[in-house]
Amino acid sequence: MTTSPIIETHGLTKRFTVKKQPVAAVTDLSISVTPGELVAFLGPNGAGKSTSLRMLTTLIPPTEGTARVAGFDIRRQPGEVRARIGYVGQLTSGSFAQRVGDELLSQGAFYGMRRADAARRADELIASLGLQAIRTRTVQQLSGGQKRRLDIALGLMHAPPLIFLDEPSTGLDPQSRANLWEHTLRLREEHGTTVFVTTHYLEEADRYAERVLVMDQGRVIADDTAPALKATLAGDLLAFGFDSADEASAALPVLAQVTGREPLLGPDARVSVTAPSGDGLLPAAIRALDAAGLGVRTATGVPPTLDDVFLALTGRALRETDRAENEPEPAKETAR
Ligand SMILES: Nc1ncnc2c1ncn2[C@@H]1O[C@H](COP(=O)(O)OP(=O)(O)OP(=O)(O)O)[C@@H](O)[C@H]1O
């Protein structure tokens, strides 16, 4: 049985005009997402992630292209799309003076839920997002992590089959980030919700997403599972230490032969080489070096990260192109 995609886009493009110059924020986004998938949209600052999300959530119209989200056309049926999705933008939502529990009920009313249903749903979300202890606090009394969890509860109030989270963990400490992910994963397990999340954090995309879309300069430049991206686009870094610089030099052709890649001679009688599935080559490399009479003092294999994938794709490091983690967010338009 084939399942219809919950997100399907064809050539989705957004251009802005800034000082009379066109800015291509998103170019030719063509993707298909299956219900229940957890997709991470990864890319540096300004890559076009938020703009993509804002088109998919009907907040801004595309310049070109089409998209169906939750079964409806984003241009022609934006109301139908909005009724079936949750969206948590970059700025915290919530009326500051309202209590957490009341805030959830207001959101339910906004989506036309019956009060009894809204109260039941609010109880469920308060329990699964660990908000019990702060239920009667006002929004302004919450910590950053608590506010972010409330945001997610608000986005899920009407039990949407699809939720978009725009950088849900930016600005949170590592513990709150881990908690937030734990809650998001549990909600997904319990409700089968499709989660589409943008993040700057490579580790998060690597660890939690089953599919990673890498975006750069408005275009999706890779789309696969994190392990597949790493296996095909980046390699393990193998490093060997020898007793002398002469031995290290003599190891170069041996390692080139075993790995099929060009090894680099480093300082301190060290040689490194990057090779796909390199960890599997490590024993063979050590045997070949031994057979050549070269004494290997140390041998390490470091698996690639998504940053290595980005580097292989663009020649730039994702972290370098990204803004500093503590830099304040630029103000953005939000909608709920
Ligand atoms: N309203 C707007 N008017 C003009 N240009 C915009 C607007 N919104 C976004 N842009 C530009 O479009 C490009 C993509 O921005 P976008 O916010 O989508 O990137 P992003 O990947 O989400 O970045 P971040 O990680 O900072 O949120 C950038 O060059 C940005 O300056």
**Banded pLDDT at 128 (limits 50, 70, 90):** confident
DSSP string, 279-292: HHHHHHHHHHHHHT
Is residue 37 within 8 Å of residue 8, measured between CB atoms? no
Q: Which tokens in the block code for residue 29?
A: 């986004």
Residue 199 in tokens: 């993040």
Does ipTM top 0.90?
yes
CA of 51 to the centre of ligand 1 (A): 6
Nearest to 90 by CA among 172, 165, 175, 196: 165
pTM of the model: 0.81
CA distances from 255 to 238, 244, 319 (A): 10, 16, 30
| Tokens, residue 6 | 């919950």
Instruction: Give the mutation target among 15, 49, 201, 216 for probing the ligand 1 site: most ligand atoms within 8 A of CB.
Output: 49
Q: What is the pLDDT of residue 91?
A: 67
Mean pLDDT of 304-326: 72
318 has a pLDDT exceeding 80: no
pLDDT, tens digit, for every residue of 230-258?
Answer: 888 888 889 999 999 999 999 999 999 99
Distances 330 to 55, 94, 193, 323 between C-alpha atoms, Å? 19, 19, 29, 11
| pLDDT at 330 exceeding the cut of 80 | no
The pLDDT of residue 93: 58
Phi, psi of 268, deg, nearest 5:
55, 40
**Would you tell me how many other CB atoms lie within 10 Å of the CB of residue 117?**
12
Q: Of all protein residues, whose CA lies closest to atom 7 belonging to ligand 1?
A: 16
Top-confidence residue, 2 or 271: 271
Among 87-91, 228-232, 321-325, whose mean pLDDT is lowest? 321-325
Pairing type for strands 162-166 and 270-275 reads: unpaired
End-to-end Cα spacing for the chain: 35
User: Who lines ligand 1 at CB under 6 A?
Assistant: 16, 18, 23, 25, 43, 45-51
pLDDT tops 60 at residue 219: yes
Mutate to test the pocket of ligand 1, among 51, 217, 314 (most ligand atoms within 8 A of CB): 51
Tell me the CA–centroid distance for residue 80 and ligand 1, in Å: 26
Least confident of 39-43, 234-238, 269-273: 234-238
Tokens of 127: 């329990």
pLDDT of residue 309: 87
Atom of ligand 1 nearest to the CA of 200: 25
Distance between CA atoms of residues 331 and 336, nearest Å: 16
pLDDT in tens, 44-88: 888 999 999 999 999 999 999 999 999 999 999 999 999 899 888
What per-residue confidence (pLDDT) applies to 97?
82
Q: How far is CA 106 from the centre of its chain?
A: 30
- Rounded to whole angstroms, the Cα distance separating 293 from 310 reads 38
pLDDT digits (tens, 9 = 90+) for 146-184: 888 888 888 888 888 999 988 887 777 777 778 778 878
Cα angle 6, 93, 191 (rounded to 5 degrees) comes to 35
Mean predicted confidence (pLDDT) in 28-35? 96
The residue written with tokens 């079936």 in the block is 84
Does position 132 have pLDDT exceeding 60, yes or no?
yes
- Which protein residue has the closest C-alpha to ligand 1 atom 27? 50
CA distance 300 to 242: 12
Instruction: Report the separation in Å between the CA atom of 15 and the middle of ligand 1, taken as the mean of its atom positions.
Output: 10
HEC per residue, 70-84:
CCEECCCCHHHHHHC
